[in-house]
């Protein structure tokens, strides 16, 4: 099949196209117009831009810093810091413009529809060539474009890509938690203002417009600060001093009022304690019940053994003589009843016990 004339002609055509392209590139490179100062400037800028992109790629190393919980940061922390700090201005500018163009393309260009359209044209062209070649020449033309071995993603590349994706996702997860739990108060305050402003803008601003504003602020704010660092730092220092002074005054005033309120509270507590103690002492000096006072007054005119008159509803009053004496000896042998036991005892001559 390799000796087929159709395959030989296609291969020769490919070689001719490659040779012509290489010849055109050599001609352009050696043309006098490309040797002008403008061309040299373009080459120099191209070399600098390539170098900055290489520096940006090399900056993806894990920093020595860690989070407040002691966890290490990802290498994307160094990458985005290098990108947004404008340490490589050409690379950052291209990244910013690319982001803006991507937002506008997503808004105004039907990229998804065009993707399906291009894919359908490509598949239709390959299918047509294959069918036409088999019908006309008995051998499809698509076979000539087919590689000797299909491309596959090496396992090492796939594992490195997955690790890179993991680092990229963890960068956003870690940064969200650091902002949420106020590891850096300035960053948390800035995020609060951004969320508050976005909440107001989302009511009348489309999503692509909000994305454009966020991207511009994210890229341009560090550039403005870097360009006016001394001026901004001076005003920030003055504002910090004013805030600290006001906070110190508020703290002193609060301490003064708290001291006064504490002294007043102690004074009232002492007054109430003394009053409570005086009331308790006065209560102890008096009788707790009028009946106790009346019972303490004994009527000497009444005999001690006089029977107490009981009124209706009162419990009957008894004296000690109304009860029999308790036995003080062992029971007498031969007594068959309580009466006999009593008569034979030493109290036998006394009054009969109450039955």
The residue to which tokens 């005892």 are assigned: 345
Tens of pLDDT along 129-166?
888 888 888 777 777 788 888 888 899 889 988 999 99
Q: How many residues does the chain have?
A: 355
178 token code pair: 């650091």
DSSP-based three-state secondary structure for 147: coil
Query: What secondary structure letter does DSSP report for 68?
Result: T
Measured from the Cβ of residue 168, the count of other Cβ atoms closer than 10 Å reads: 13
End-to-end CA gap in the chain: 145
Separation CA 110–CA 34 (nearest Å): 38
Average pLDDT over the chain reads 78
Element (H, E) at 65: none
Query: What secondary structure letter does DSSP report for 66?
Result: B
Q: Cα–Cα distances in Å, from 85 out to 79, 82, 89, 114, 222?
A: 10, 5, 9, 36, 6
Please give the model's pTM, rounded to 2 decimal places: 0.58
Q: What is the pLDDT of residue 304?
A: 46
Q: Cα angle vertex 208, ends 204, 212, to 5°?
A: 100
The residue to which tokens 């404008």 are assigned: 86
Please report how the helices 207-227 and 185-201 are oriented relative to each other, as an axis angle in degrees rounded to 10.
Answer: 140
Tens of pLDDT along 307-347?
545 454 445 556 666 666 666 666 655 555 556 655 665 55
Which range has the worst mean pLDDT, 58-72, 222-236, 255-269, 333-347? 333-347
Over residues 246-267, mean pLDDT: 85
Separation CA 77–CA 73 (nearest Å): 7
Separation CA 82–CA 346 (nearest Å): 122
Residue 173 backbone dihedrals phi, psi, to 5 degrees: -65, -45
Separation CA 346–CA 355 (nearest Å): 19
Q: What is the pLDDT of residue 170?
A: 93
349 token code pair: 């001559």
Tens of pLDDT along 182-210?
898 989 999 999 999 999 999 999 999 99
Q: Cα–Cα distances in Å, from 113 out to 107, 116, 117, 120, 302?
A: 13, 5, 6, 11, 125
């Amino acid at each position: 099949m390799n000796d087929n004339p159709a395959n030989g002609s296609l291969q020769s055509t490919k070689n001719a196209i490659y040779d012509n392209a290489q010849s055109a590139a050599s001609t352009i490179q050696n043309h006098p117009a490309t040797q002008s100062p403008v061309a040299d400037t373009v080459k120099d800028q191209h070399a600098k831009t390539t170098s900055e992109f290489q520096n940006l790629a090399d900056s993806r190393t894990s920093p020595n810093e860690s989070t407040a919980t002691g966890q290490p940061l990802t290498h994307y922390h160094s990458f985005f810091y290098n990108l947004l700090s404008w340490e490589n201005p050409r690379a950052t500018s291209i990244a910013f413009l690319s982001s803006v163009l991507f937002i506008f393309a997503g808004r105004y260009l039907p990229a998804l529809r065009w993707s399906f359209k291009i894919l359908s044209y490509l598949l239709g062209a390959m299918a047509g060539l294959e069918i036409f070649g088999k019908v006309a020449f008995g051998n499809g033309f698509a076979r000539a474009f087919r590689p000797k071995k299909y491309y596959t993603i090496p396992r090492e590349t796939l594992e490195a890509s997955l690790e890179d994706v993991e680092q990229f996702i963890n960068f956003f997860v870690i940064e969200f938690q650091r902002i949420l739990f106020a590891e850096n108060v300035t960053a948390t305050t800035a995020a609060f203002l951004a969320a508050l402003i976005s909440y107001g803008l989302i009511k009348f601003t489309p999503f692509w417009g909000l994305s454009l504003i966020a991207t511009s602020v994210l890229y341009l704010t560090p550039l403005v600060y870097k360009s006016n660092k001394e001026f901004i730092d001076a005003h920030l220092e003055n504002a910090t001093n004013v805030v600290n002074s006001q906070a110190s005054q508020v703290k002193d005033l609060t301490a003064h009022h708290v001291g006064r309120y504490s002294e007043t509270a102690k004074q009232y507590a002492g007054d109430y304690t003394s009053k409570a103690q005086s009331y308790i002492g006065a209560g102890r000096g008096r009788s707790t019940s009028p009946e106790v006072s009346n019972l303490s007054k004994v009527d000497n005119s009444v005999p001690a053994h006089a029977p107490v008159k009981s009124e209706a509803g009162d419990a009957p009053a008894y004296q000690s003589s109304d009860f029999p004496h308790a036995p003080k000896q062992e029971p007498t042998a031969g007594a068959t009843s309580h009466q006999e036991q009593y008569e034979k005892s030493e109290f036998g001559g006394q009054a009969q016990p109450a039955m």
